[in-house]
Amino acid sequence: MKHLDEYRDSEKAKLILDAIHKKVTKKWNIMEICGGQTHSIVKYGIDELLPNEINLIHGPGCPVCVTPIEKIDKAIEIASNPNVIFCSFGDMLRVPGSKTDLLKIKAMGFDVRIVYSPVDAVNIAKQNPEKEIVFFAVGFETTAPPNAQAVFLAYQMGIKNFSVLVSHVLVPPAIKAILDSKNNRVQGFLAAGHVCTVMGFKEYEEIAEKYKIPIVVTGFEPLDILQGIYMCVSQLEEGRSEVENQYARVVTKDGNTKAQKIMYEIFEITDRKWRGIGEIKESGFKLKEKYNEYDAELKFGIVNYSVEESGECISGLILQGIKKPVDCSVFGAKCTPEHPLGATMVSSEGACSAYYLYKEKKL
Ligand code: SF4
């Protein structure tokens, strides 16, 4: 805790807040990309301590929230096969598909297991040669390297009863889609520190230059976020549009090149649908053809799927920063973390769940 306490020091927080108050002269809309940052902002009440001129917009950086409903339905269909052991990180189990969720499938007696690493799923495949083992490979650039490593391991070991249901998404194309939208209000970004730990921040420089927008690579603790906001506001007030690195204790410009190497060995870029947002060009990963035998969609013949989102849930607008959770008519009433109607209420990184846990509107 000692190391964490350094980044939660209230005296230092007051100093940075004072500096932000002195710096700001105009209204600015700043988007924090990552759901982990949203969670810290709401948990520590950072949004309420900032000057009124600064509006924080919560971005689409929660992997559970943006996994499309079709992918959840595919996971449910695969997991409902008695010959399958379906492995996933725990937070995917409660995400609602169009009719049910993986937790209910597990309760019906199908073999759905929570694992803490994709390599655990490879080991389960080794131990259960008579079964098909499927791992739900979701997430941003942060989880792509270990998921790629699991496929590579299975390939090297000649394990044939292992496959992955891939739903990886990438941050820079999402930033560009937000900036290209006619509804865009975002004037500066706090980029997600953990994604940049893997990817570095070179790819953000072209975006900052093209769109004339400041991007600050930012961590997750309260002092990280306050400092990131200060750096972003300083750029906005001074008319600069650069990429700056608040999270230099972890992030380098080139990122983790070894992790990138294994990721690009296994995956290639593809168009990807985001839940509530729609398709974004070249915004995801799919397995390279060489690894097709590890593609669960091909193995189980469930490539084409189309499902309509519920009309009540406005998570798509929340994920684009157009609405806030409290703007949803069923927030805290019909939709709660115990009975979520949308993915942004399920995940601990989802904006709706963060608002429910830490804002006053609990019905
Ligand atoms: S409160 Fe529930 S229904 Fe409303 S936007 Fe959030 S997840 Fe969707």
Asked if pLDDT for residue 361 goes beyond 50, the answer is no
Q: Over the Cα atoms of the chain, what is R_g?
A: 21
CA atoms of 231 and 213, how far apart (whole Å):
13
CA of 360 to the centre of ligand 1 (A): 16
Average pLDDT over residues 8-25: 94
Domain boundaries, the chain: 1-311, 315-362
Asked if residue 347 has its Cβ within 6 Å of ligand 1, the reply is no
The residue whose CA is least distant from atom 3 of ligand 1 is 313
- Alpha carbon distances (Å) from 341 to 305, 311, 345, 347, 360: 21, 10, 7, 12, 20
Rounded mean pLDDT, 265-274: 95
Q: Is 327 in the pocket of ligand 1 (CB under 6 A)?
A: no
Q: How confident is the model at residue 4 (pLDDT cuts 50, 70, 90)?
A: low
Ligand 1 pocket residue status of 206, Cβ below 6 Å: no
Q: Which of 171, 181, 246, 233 is nearest to 211 (CA)?
A: 181
**Structure token pair of residue 358:** 């830490």
Structure tokens at 247: 């999270």
Using CA positions, which residue lies closest to atom 8 of ligand 1?
Answer: 313
pTM summary value: 0.91
Nearest CA to ligand 1 atom 1: 331
Residue-wise pLDDT for 51-94, tens only, equals: 999 999 988 888 888 898 899 999 999 999 999 999 999 989 98
For 184-198, the pLDDT digits (tens) are: 999 999 999 999 999
Helical spans, DSSP H, in 25-163: 35-43, 46-49, 63-66, 69-79, 102-107, 118-127, 144-157
Question: How confident is the model at residue 311, as a pLDDT?
Answer: 77
Name the residue among 80, 20, 9 with its Cα closest to residue 226.
20
Q: Which residues does residue 138 pair with via DSSP β-bridges, in sequence order?
A: 167
Distance 328 CA to ligand 1 centre (A): 6
Q: How far is the CA of 28 from the centre of ligand 1 (A)?
A: 26
Any idea of the CA torsion for 336, 340, 346, 350, to the nearest 10 degrees? -60
Please provide the CATH number assigned to the domain covering 1-311. Answer: 3.40.50.11740
CA of 330 to the centre of ligand 1 (A): 7
319 ligand 1 Cβ < 6 A: no
For 324-355, what is each residue's pLDDT tens digit? 899 999 999 999 988 888 878 888 788 999 99
Top-confidence residue, 163 or 6: 163
User: What type of residue is 190?
Assistant: L
CA dihedral 40, 46, 52, 58 (to 10 degrees): 0
Question: Looking at ligand 1, which atom is closest to the CA of residue 315?
Answer: 5
Number of other CB atoms surrounding residue 259 within 10 Å = 19
**pLDDT tops 70 at residue 261:** yes
DSSP for residue 9:
-
**What's the pLDDT tens digit per position in 168-182?**
999 999 999 999 988
98 CA from centroid of ligand 1 (Å)? 15
137 lines ligand 1 (CB under 6 A): no
Residue 348 Cα to ligand 1 midpoint, Å, equals: 14
Q: Which of 24-28, 44-48, 300-304, 358-362 has the lowest mean pLDDT?
A: 358-362
Q: What is the pLDDT of residues 114-156, one digit of tens each?
A: 999 999 999 999 999 999 999 999 999 999 999 999 999 999 9
CA of 319 to the centre of ligand 1 (A): 11
* pLDDT 10s digits, 200-257: 999 999 999 999 999 999 999 999 999 999 999 999 999 999 999 999 999 999 999 9
- Residue of 328, 347, 353 best suited for mutating to test ligand 1, as the one with most atoms within 8 Å of CB: 328
- Give the CA count within 13 Å in the CB-facing half-sphere of 251: 26
DSSP track, 257-289: HHHHHHHHHHEEEEEEEETTTEEEEEEEEEE-G
Pocket test for ligand 1, best of 318, 324, 329, 344 (most atoms within 8 A of CB): 344
Q: Please give the single-letter amino acid code of residue 22.
A: K
Per the CB < 8 A criterion, the answer to whether 224 and 68 are in contact is: no
Q: What is the rounded (10 degree) CA torsion for 338, 339, 345, 349?
A: 30
